Amino acid sequence: MTNIKDLAKMAGVSVTTVSRVLNHHPYVTEEKKNAVLEAIKVSNYHKNINAVHLSKGKTLLIGVVLPFSDHPYFALLLKGIAKQALENNYKLVLFQTDYMESREMEALQMLKQKQIDSLIICSRTIDWPIIEEHLLFGPIVLCEQTVGKMVSTTFVNHYKTFFEALEYLYHKGHEKIGYCIARNSGTNSQDREFAYRDFVKKYQLRYRPDYIINECLHFEDGEKAIEHIKALDQPPSALLVTSDQVAAGIVTCCQKQNISIPDKLAIIGFDNQPIAKIMNITTIEIPLVDMGKNLFLQALNGDLSNKEMSVKLIERGTV
């Protein structure tokens, strides 16, 4: 592989001059410039980016931590991140963690080792203090609402969103309301539980832990959710479902089992994915792609900022 030294020799100039034309710096005569350009062409030269990185201390690489890439929520987030990365000539390093701390640590390590310039954490298991101590090594951006933490974030207010959705159902006549979440840890799920508890308190309803259905991630989990509530003495009459995929699975399952929607069971999905439109599912739109874009920009920029994204209730046929 030819390097700038070779080019310099070929063009009869110094490596500095070669570097100058390579990086479009001023102060180089047309004549020498053309000589270098010619040398580049005939030698089929290309920079060794690793050397550039070492020299500059930058990689043009941004890490993305997410549990799975085969879930629409994260796939859409990733889409936004990737789109923005492209525009800024950055590449992404993907960390698919399956929510394993060790894998999240790897991402943090790469930041520490300067193998990536910054890190976007779409969802995490690892505790905040660990993240905090890695803030020294480069920008870290979170996709969750934080309080009193010195990190950049892009988030939706899940507490408010959930509370309002619960009230919406309440005013439609529902008093027994359950909800499905992906996992019970995680700040988003916590925020939702707070909302649920406050809602129950406000309207003097009974707090029923068995109305909270955990591990609802994919379409096929809809069936599980239905089985869960069918086993209850007093099944809920409405369900908040934090993924349209799962909501679609629930609707499909109800059709099979002749459970009338929304009469017997009302459903509100989340995200407003295409499947929700097709299946006429009432849902709460979350601008995932835009969130992804913003996450990237924050990671690139490095300044501290916190951006709340607004959501929108899309009324369709399942409530």
Partner DNA sequence: TTGTATGCGTTATCAT
Partner DNA sequence: ATGATAACGCATACAA
> Which residues form the interface with DNA (CB under 7 A)?
1, 3-5, 12-17, 19-20, 22-23, 26-29, 31-32, 45-48, 51-52, 54-57
When asked if residue 247 is in the footprint of its own copies (CB under 8 A), the reply is: no
When asked if residue 172 is in the footprint of its own copies (CB under 8 A), the reply is: no
Nearer to DNA, 40 or 281 (CB): 40
Q: How far is the CB of 121 from DNA (least distance, A)?
A: 25
Nearer to its own copies, 219 or 270 (CB): 219
Buried residues in 194-227 as b, exposed as e (16+ CB within 10 A): ebbeebbeeeeeeeeeebbbeebbbbebbbbbbe
Which of DNA, its own copies, none interacts with 91 (beta carbon under 5 to 8 A by kind)?
A: its own copies
When asked if residue 79 is in the footprint of its own copies (CB under 8 A), the reply is: yes
Alpha-carbon distance 243 to 110, whole Å? 31
User: Which residues in 1-107 belong to E strands, given as ranges?
Assistant: 61-66, 91-96
Rg (CA), the chain: 26
When asked if residue 105 is in the footprint of its own copies (CB under 8 A), the reply is: no
User: Applying CB under 8 A, which of residues 9, 32, 33, 112 lies at the interface with its own copies?
Assistant: 112
Long-range contact pairs involving 34-43 (C-beta distance under 8 Å, separation at least 24): 35/11, 36/7, 36/11, 38/11, 39/7, 39/10, 39/11, 40/7, 42/10, 43/2, 43/6, 43/7, 43/10
When asked if residue 279 is in the footprint of its own copies (CB under 8 A), the reply is: yes
Q: Around Cβ 310, how many Cβ atoms within 10 Å?
A: 10
Q: How far is the CB of 276 from DNA (least distance, A)?
A: 48
User: Applying CB under 8 A, which of residues 15, 75, 200, 313 lies at the interface with its own copies?
Assistant: 75
Q: How far is the CB of 23 from its own copies (least distance, A)?
A: 15
Tell me whether strands 61-66 and 118-121 are parallel, antiparallel or unpaired. parallel
Q: Around Cβ 119, how many Cβ atoms within 10 Å?
A: 27
Interface ranges with its own copies (CB under 8 A): 46-51, 53-54, 57, 59, 61, 64, 68-72, 75-76, 78-79, 82-83, 86, 91-96, 103, 109-110, 112-115, 218-220, 222-223, 249, 252-253, 255, 274-275, 277-279
